[in-house]
Amino acid sequence: MRILLVSDLHYALKQYDWTAAAAPAFDLVVIAGDHLDISSSLDGNVQVVVILKYLQRLARTTRLVVSSGNHDLDRRDAAGERIPAWIERVRRLGVPTDGDTLELDAARVTICPWWDGPAARGRIADQLARDAAASRRPWIWVYHAPPADSPTSWDGRRSWGDADLSAWIELYRPDIVLCGHIHQAPFKREGSWVDRIGDTWVFNAGQQIGPEPAHVILDTAQPAAAWFSLAGAEIVRLDAPLSRPVESLAGLPAWAPAIPGPGPSPA
């Protein structure tokens, strides 16, 4: 299965254009939260309308899953916790999103919402316990924040990871966790786009300026994962221990699809 991971697009419409153009080359496209830009002068409701059109366009060309992030919260629920109420409109498009589980021939994908308090956190705990009981592998989680004390959560000064996610990884040992949230992690010394916690691979593509988002391509048949950004490209084998420094790439691996934008030329 070939997967494209992007996150933290923050209403960067040229990056959504790039993602839509790349999508047909993948079996699964994951946008791991923070679709909206809360610092924008453009009203959030307007942003939602435009993003929904992009997601609908993407869903016509490949399998798409979408999670929420902290920038996507727009309401308070009955418990007083902030939630991304507009994400329900994503589900109505037929796109699996927060709280859903996508069953594919090649994997189970559990999509977790951003949580703002104990009620939402409890729903995630229940969701993971439910999916763990089915014990199907490989098991992929989509979760906006990376785990605590991981290079994927390092911003150059401190770790901003989710300690609850770390505990859940230790408990359930998913095969892959696809994250975002910490934009700087792949670009900072002691940070990274990839980590391995026990048997679990963790990926955070990071966020960059320009028309092409920083992104991770995974191919479970290889098995391998590669990261592409303005800072360069790197690759890991998923059937080998993670070693650092991570191997650099001079060109596009033979197994990766040629996709639009100023990415690496074929090797």
Q: Is 25 left (phi over 0), alpha (psi -120 to 50) or beta?
A: alpha
What one-character-per-residue DSSP string does 54-97 give? HHHHHHTTSEEEEE--GGG--EE-TTS-EE-TTHHHHHHTT---
Residue-level pLDDT at 261: 53
Domain encompassing residue 166: 2-248
pLDDT of residue 209: 96
Question: Hey, how many other C-beta atoms are within 10 angstroms of the C-beta on 65?
Answer: 23
Strand partners, 184: none
- Any domain includes 262: no
**Structural contact between residues 34 and 58, judged by C-beta atoms closer than 8 angstroms:** no
| Spatial contact of 147 and 174, defined as CB atoms under 8 Å apart | no
The one-digit pLDDT tens for each residue of the chain (267 residues) are 999 999 999 999 999 999 999 999 999 999 999 999 988 888 989 999 999 999 999 999 999 999 999 999 999 999 999 999 999 999 999 999 999 999 999 899 999 999 999 999 999 999 999 999 986 779 999 999 999 999 999 999 999 999 999 999 999 999 999 999 999 999 999 999 999 999 999 999 999 999 999 999 999 999 999 999 999 999 999 999 999 999 999 888 999 998 765 344 333
- Classify residue 257: in a domain, yes or no: no
**Domain for residue 264, yes or no?**
no
**Predicted pLDDT at 134:** 83
CATH label of the domain that carries residue 133:
3.60.21.10
- With beta carbons less than 8 A apart as the criterion, state whether 267 and 250 touch: yes
Question: Is 182 part of any domain?
Answer: yes
User: What span, in angstroms and rounded, lies between the C-alpha atoms of 135 and 175?
Assistant: 12
Please state the pTM of the whole predicted model: 0.95
- Reduced to 3 states (helix: H, G, I; strand: E, B; else coil), residue 105 is coil
pLDDT at residue number 39 = 87
Q: Determine the pLDDT at residue 260.
A: 62
pLDDT at 127: 97
Structural domain contains residue 256: no
Other CB atoms closer than 10 Å to residue 24's CB: what's the count?
Answer: 13
Report the domain count for the chain. 1
What's the pLDDT score for residue 35? 97
Amino acid 266: pLDDT:
36
Residue 253 lies in a domain: no
At 41 the pLDDT is 84
